[in-house]
Amino acid sequence: MNQMTELQLEQTYPSVGRKSGEEEMAGRTWYWSREVKTTPDEDIRRVEISVRLDSDKDAAALTLVTGFFTKYLNRKVDEGREVDEGREGDEGRKDDERRKDGKGRKNGAEEEG
């Protein structure tokens, strides 16, 4: 789970590929592997992370966590303003304008609710 959280905190659209490593936790070494895959939707990536007690990648995984990342939700902050790296053109600009005041208002109107 730590690897999925770290990937979320990077706020970037993950690249397709494999990565593995190890972490020390609770007096034990845990071996993890991450695989990022494409999906039928080019704007969504599937991420699978497995954890083992053995460094042998063929050993049975203790757990498998799957998550999905979309390029539209992975934003970076540039000088106090969100930068939408995934969207281009008028649609991205409209979304930026709606978020300007931080209250989700569209064209200056108050949100209902």
Is 113 a domain residue? no
Is 81 a domain residue? yes
- Do 51 and 61 touch, CB atoms closer than 8 A? yes
Task: Indicate the pTM of the whole model.
Answer: 0.61
Is 93 a domain residue? yes
Range of the domain at 95: 74-101
**If residue 16 lies in a helix (H) or strand (E), which one and from where to where?**
none
DSSP 67-111: EEEETTT--EEETTEEE-SS--HHHHHHHHHHHTTSS--BTTBPP
> 34 by DSSP, 3-state: which?
strand
Beta bridge partners of 46: 37, 68
The predicted-structure confidence for 39-60, as pLDDT tens digits, reads as follows 999 999 999 999 999 888 788 9
Report the domain count for the chain.
Answer: 2
* Region 70-83 average pLDDT: 61
